[in-house]
Structure 1
Amino acid sequence: MTAKVEVGRKGYIIIPKSIRELIGIKEGDVLTLTVENGRIVLEPERRVSLPEVARRLREHEEKVRKYAKEARLGDLAGVSLEDEFE
């Protein structure tokens, strides 16, 4: 998506509502501004909730445990890798 914006007094620009909604930018969010090859790039700073990350890791571990089993010596005896990739 592309939009033209006008630079106002003191260098202010307004990010159009459609772009803010598309990216998920809300009032009070912090944006990182970088200059790359003569271009201005604005990226929203994403804050991570440690409790949310921990919850998602627990959920992922539960899903993996459903399908994973403890490997035992001899489980792959007689299995040929060549057969696996045919």
Structure 2
Amino acid sequence: MIVEVDDGIILKPVKRKIDPEKLREAFKRHVESLNKIQGRREPKPGELAKSSLEEEFDDKSIY
């Protein structure tokens, strides 16, 4: 799946073969890098329901 973000979010299917093992490793590295961020926490269910995507990225307290 390819995600394009412009005036909206567009999801497009990928037309090439994906190596599942490479994808798993990339996700694993991403999770490891997220775990190194001090003070990072996951939102509680419904906490961001009324927040726009832009507001989430403007919130410097999550970095």
TM-score by length of 1: 0.28
Larger radius of gyration: 1
TM-score by length of 2: 0.37
